[in-house]
Amino acid sequence: KQEVTQIPAALSVPEGENLVLNCSFTDSAIYNLQWFRQDPGKGLTSLLLIQSSQREQTSGRLNASLDKSSGRSTLYIAASQPGDSATYLCAVRNTGNQFYFGTGTSLTVIP
Protein backbone atom coordinates (compact mmCIF):
# COMPACT_ATOMS: atom_id res chain seq x y z
CA LYS A 1 0.00 0.00 0.00
CA GLN A 2 1.24 3.49 -0.85
CA GLU A 3 2.46 5.53 2.12
CA VAL A 4 3.00 9.26 1.91
CA THR A 5 5.17 11.13 4.41
CA GLN A 6 5.60 14.86 4.84
CA ILE A 7 8.45 16.29 6.86
CA PRO A 8 8.55 18.53 8.81
CA ALA A 9 5.11 18.40 10.42
CA ALA A 10 5.40 22.10 11.24
CA LEU A 11 7.55 24.95 9.99
CA SER A 12 7.86 28.57 11.06
CA VAL A 13 9.75 31.13 8.95
CA PRO A 14 10.10 34.93 8.85
CA GLU A 15 8.36 36.78 6.06
CA GLY A 16 10.35 37.01 2.82
CA GLU A 17 12.19 33.74 3.20
CA ASN A 18 12.23 31.10 0.49
CA LEU A 19 11.26 27.66 1.76
CA VAL A 20 10.93 24.03 0.70
CA LEU A 21 8.32 21.51 1.81
CA ASN A 22 9.01 17.82 1.34
CA CYS A 23 6.84 14.88 0.37
CA SER A 24 8.01 11.28 0.00
CA PHE A 25 6.14 8.19 -1.15
CA THR A 26 6.95 4.51 -1.00
CA ASP A 27 5.60 3.23 -4.34
CA SER A 28 7.11 4.99 -7.35
CA ALA A 29 4.45 3.63 -9.76
CA ILE A 30 2.36 6.78 -9.58
CA TYR A 31 0.09 8.43 -12.12
CA ASN A 32 0.29 11.99 -10.74
CA LEU A 33 0.98 14.01 -7.59
CA GLN A 34 -0.94 17.01 -6.29
CA TRP A 35 -0.06 19.69 -3.76
CA PHE A 36 -2.92 21.22 -1.77
CA ARG A 37 -3.32 24.06 0.67
CA GLN A 38 -5.74 23.83 3.62
CA ASP A 39 -6.72 26.71 5.87
CA PRO A 40 -7.97 25.86 9.40
CA GLY A 41 -11.42 24.22 9.37
CA LYS A 42 -11.66 24.51 5.60
CA GLY A 43 -11.44 22.28 2.57
CA LEU A 44 -8.41 21.71 0.39
CA THR A 45 -7.41 23.94 -2.51
CA SER A 46 -5.41 22.34 -5.31
CA LEU A 47 -2.20 24.28 -5.96
CA LEU A 48 -0.27 22.23 -8.48
CA LEU A 49 -0.63 18.88 -10.22
CA ILE A 50 2.38 17.07 -11.70
CA GLN A 51 1.87 14.17 -14.08
CA SER A 52 4.24 11.22 -13.70
CA SER A 53 5.96 12.16 -16.96
CA GLN A 54 6.72 15.69 -15.76
CA ARG A 55 9.59 16.95 -13.60
CA GLU A 56 8.09 20.20 -12.33
CA GLN A 57 5.19 22.61 -12.42
CA THR A 58 5.13 26.32 -11.60
CA SER A 59 2.39 28.70 -10.55
CA GLY A 60 3.37 32.19 -9.46
CA ARG A 61 5.67 31.93 -6.43
CA LEU A 62 5.14 28.16 -6.20
CA ASN A 63 7.25 25.51 -7.87
CA ALA A 64 6.70 21.80 -7.39
CA SER A 65 9.20 19.17 -8.50
CA LEU A 66 8.85 15.43 -8.85
CA ASP A 67 11.52 12.73 -8.74
CA LYS A 68 9.55 9.55 -9.27
CA SER A 69 12.47 7.16 -9.07
CA SER A 70 13.47 8.35 -5.61
CA GLY A 71 9.87 8.76 -4.45
CA ARG A 72 10.13 12.45 -3.67
CA SER A 73 8.44 15.75 -4.40
CA THR A 74 9.19 19.22 -3.14
CA LEU A 75 7.10 22.38 -3.03
CA TYR A 76 9.21 25.53 -3.21
CA ILE A 77 7.63 28.79 -2.03
CA ALA A 78 9.50 31.95 -2.96
CA ALA A 79 9.41 35.18 -0.95
CA SER A 80 6.98 33.82 1.65
CA GLN A 81 4.16 36.03 2.91
CA PRO A 82 1.96 35.83 6.06
CA GLY A 83 -0.95 34.88 3.77
CA ASP A 84 0.92 31.70 2.88
CA SER A 85 0.34 30.43 6.43
CA ALA A 86 -1.67 27.21 6.10
CA THR A 87 -1.26 23.45 6.05
CA TYR A 88 0.20 22.05 2.84
CA LEU A 89 -0.67 18.48 1.84
CA CYS A 90 0.58 16.30 -0.96
CA ALA A 91 -1.42 13.48 -2.50
CA VAL A 92 -0.24 10.73 -4.78
CA ARG A 93 -2.43 8.91 -7.24
CA ASN A 94 -1.52 5.34 -8.09
CA THR A 95 -2.56 3.71 -11.33
CA GLY A 96 -5.57 2.34 -9.46
CA ASN A 97 -7.27 5.77 -9.36
CA GLN A 98 -7.03 6.17 -5.59
CA PHE A 99 -5.30 9.19 -4.00
CA TYR A 100 -3.07 8.73 -0.95
CA PHE A 101 -2.54 11.77 1.25
CA GLY A 102 0.23 12.80 3.61
CA THR A 103 -0.53 14.33 7.01
CA GLY A 104 0.66 17.74 5.89
CA THR A 105 3.14 20.43 6.89
CA SER A 106 1.74 23.30 8.95
CA LEU A 107 3.43 26.50 7.77
CA THR A 108 3.52 29.75 9.74
CA VAL A 109 5.03 32.84 8.11
CA ILE A 110 5.88 35.45 10.74
CA PRO A 111 5.44 39.12 9.73
A 10 A CB-CB count for 46 gives 10
Whose Cβ is closer to other proteins: residue 12's or residue 98's?
98
| Cβ at position 38, least distance to other proteins in Å | 9
CB atoms inside a 10 Å sphere around CB 87: 19
| For other proteins, the closer CB: 11 or 44 | 44
Binding site for other proteins (CB under 8 A): 4, 31-32, 34, 36, 41-46, 49, 89, 91, 93, 97-103
CB proximity list for 41: less than 8 A, separation 6 or greater = none
